[in-house]
Structure formats: C-alpha cells, structure tokens
Amino acid sequence: MSASLVMGEVLSRKKQGEDYYSLTVVAPAVAESVAPGQFVNVRPVGRTAHILRRPFSVYRVHKQGGWASTFEIIFDIRGPGTEELAALDVHDKLDVMGPLGNGFRLPKKHSRCLLVGGGIGAAPLFFLAARLREAGHRIDVVLGARTSELLLNAMDARRLASICRITTEDGSAGDTGVVTDVLGPTIERCGSEVVYTCGPHAMLEAVAGVCGAAKLPVQVAVEELMACGFGVCMSCVIPLRVRRKKGGSGSGGVLYARSCTEGPVFDGSQVIWSDHIAAPDTIDLASELVPPPAAPPRAQHVPAGAGAEHSPPGN
C-alpha cells in the first residue's frame, strides 16, 4: 500500500472567489506519489468534537525536487470540518493520510479527452488535466456551476482546453443551464473518445447517461460519506453492476464496492445510480469486482430474486 500517514505543513491558504478556499500543504511523501483522482484524508491536529478526518481530492501538485513538494486542495465550507480547515494559517500542521483511492485511468494511446466538472466537484479534473497534457492528450472541458462565482478556476480551464464550454444555471456566465445540456453536442464537436467527470451525484448520473447513449467510456469520481478512507469500515460503498470473473464461481450481479479503495473513480456504466439509496436485492459478493473495461460494456443482465436482507441495526 502506498498511502502515507504524515504531518503536513500549510504553506499557503487562499480564498478563491466568494466561496472557495484552497490550502497548499507541504507533504512530499503524498505530493510525489499522488495520481489524479486520488484523495487525501486530512485532519487539523488536536481536534476533539469532530473526530473523523475529512476527504478531499487533490486539486494540484507542485513538485519541488522531493523535499518540499506540495499538494493543494480546494473546498467550500459545508460544516465544522471545512470551517476549521478554512481557518488554518500558514505553518499550521495538518495530519494527512494519503494518497488514497484508485485515481483516474489515463489513456494508453493519444486520445481526445473530455473533462466534465460541476461546481467544486471539478477539483480533481485540474490535476487530471495537467497530467493528461503532460502525456500529450487533447483536452476539452465542460465546466458548470449554479452561478459564475461558483465556477471553479474557469481561467485555467480555458487555458488547458482546446474547447471549453461553460454553463451556469442563472446564465451569469456561458450558456444558461447545466453541463449535460451542452454535453452531447460538445462530445460530437470534439470527437471525444473518453469522458472524465466529477461533481454532484445527480450530475454524474446524467453525464453517465449521455455517455452511455453515445457509447463513450466514462470515468466518474464519486463522493461518499467516509469514516476511514482506507478500506476498513465499509461506510463508503456504492452499488456496482459487476460481471463474473473468468473462471469465478459467482454469477455476477451487484456488489457494494468501497469508494475509498476500489474507487473513488468508477466506470460510469457500472454504477447503479437509481438504487443508490434503496438496497439492490441481487447481491453476489462472491463474484469479484471486474476492473472497469476500456470500452463501455453491454447492458448486464442482473439475475432477479434473492432472499430478504437481515442485518443488525448497527455495525
């Protein structure tokens, strides 16, 4: 396992626009090894009331020859955890576990990549874009938010992308509407071969739907509630439709995969979006998770009928 448990130090803290805060953290062990789509689970030192760490995608890294490399996270204030992070000062310590999760899979041969981000959820796409560009891929971007103030770093998005489409729900920048309104035409215009997306659950579902119809592979980065972030608590699961492993005994079916370990990046065509809340009742845990295919799989048949679930209220 490559994740480290380190004491980072805040190098800088910036406010970006009205709502976003970014922290640049000196933590070479993390910054040198993290890949786009992976996340860090962080905690200011000495907290007592809110005991758990908080997970954040890595937004950018700055390699400084190993000894002072930094990673950057960007977030909006949702509750006590993000409030405390926003209040950190330069030189404050930050307890960091990371890098965690699987990260995006980069194309092997030159590809036209479309990055679709909503609100603060676009954060990991900037790190991804940087790495895709280094590898010589073409990048196009669709960036959306409720209002122009909440567009994440539209300037960099425009700079990195061959084609950059902006949408806001109130029409304060770009097209009025949501990212999926312009997604289909953008895919066609750019000749996109693979789509990467991160943002609110409903947006991911809609993007996966458009890509499914267009038979385009789509990698979605999900955000689930996490207690541990490294695979032991089983809090963060997401239902996936999985195929039987070659030679395996399982019948395939639905698997609760850990978004902190098997994810947070999943093949969008495998995620069961509508069953997110209601438990799917066809589960075959014995079937192993099949890695996301390069091309979108054909619709999987999910066998019907399984016993009712009986499990305790706790644990």
Partner 1 sequence: MTRPSLAVDLAGIRLKNPVLAASGTFGAGREASGFVDIARLGGLITKSMTLEPWKGKPTPRMCETPSGMLNAIGIQNRGVAHFISEDLPWLVRRKATVIASIAGNTVDEFAGVAARLAAAGGGIAGVEVNISCPNLEDRDNMFAHSEAATARVVSEVKRALPAVPLFAKLSPNVTSVGDIAAAAVAAGADGLSLINTVLGMAIDVNTRRPKLAGTVGGLSGPAIRPIAVRAVHEVHRAHPGVPIIGQGGISSAADALEMILAGATAVAVGTANFINPRSALEVAGGLSELMASHGAATVAELVGAVELVG
Ligand X SMILES: Cc1cc2nc3c(=O)[nH]c(=O)nc-3n(C[C@H](O)[C@H](O)[C@H](O)COP(=O)(O)OP(=O)(O)OC[C@H]3O[C@@H](n4cnc5c(N)ncnc54)[C@H](O)[C@@H]3O)c2cc1C
Ligand Y SMILES: Cc1cc2nc3c(=O)[nH]c(=O)nc-3n(C[C@H](O)[C@H](O)[C@H](O)COP(=O)(O)O)c2cc1C
In the complex, which residues of this chain contact ligand X (CB under 6 A)? Answer: 39, 52, 54-57, 73-76, 78-82, 120, 123, 223-226, 264
- Indicate whether 228 belongs to the interface with ligand FES (CB under 6 A): yes
- Indicate whether 234 belongs to the interface with ligand FES (CB under 6 A): yes
Q: Cα(260)–Cα(203) distance, rounded to whole angstroms? A: 20
**Contact letters (x/-) for partner 1, 214-233, by CB under 8 A?**
----------xxxxxxxxxx
Nearer to ligand FES, 49 or 225 (CB): 225
Q: From the list partner 1, ligand FES, ligand X, none, pick the one residue 75 interacts with, judged by a Cβ distance below 5 to 8 Å according to partner type.
A: ligand X
Of 9, 11, 50, 154, the one binding partner 1 by CB under 8 A: 50
Contact between 26 and 70 (Cβ < 8 Å): yes
Give least dist CB 229 to ligand FES, A.
5
Q: Cα(55)–Cα(119) distance, rounded to whole angstroms? A: 17
Q: Which of residues 232-271 bind ligand Y (CB under 6 A)?
A: 233
Given the rule CB under 8 A, which residues bind partner 1? 1-3, 5, 43, 48-53, 224-238, 254, 256, 261, 276-279, 283-286, 309-315
Given the rule CB under 6 A, which residues bind ligand FES? 226-229, 231-236, 258, 260
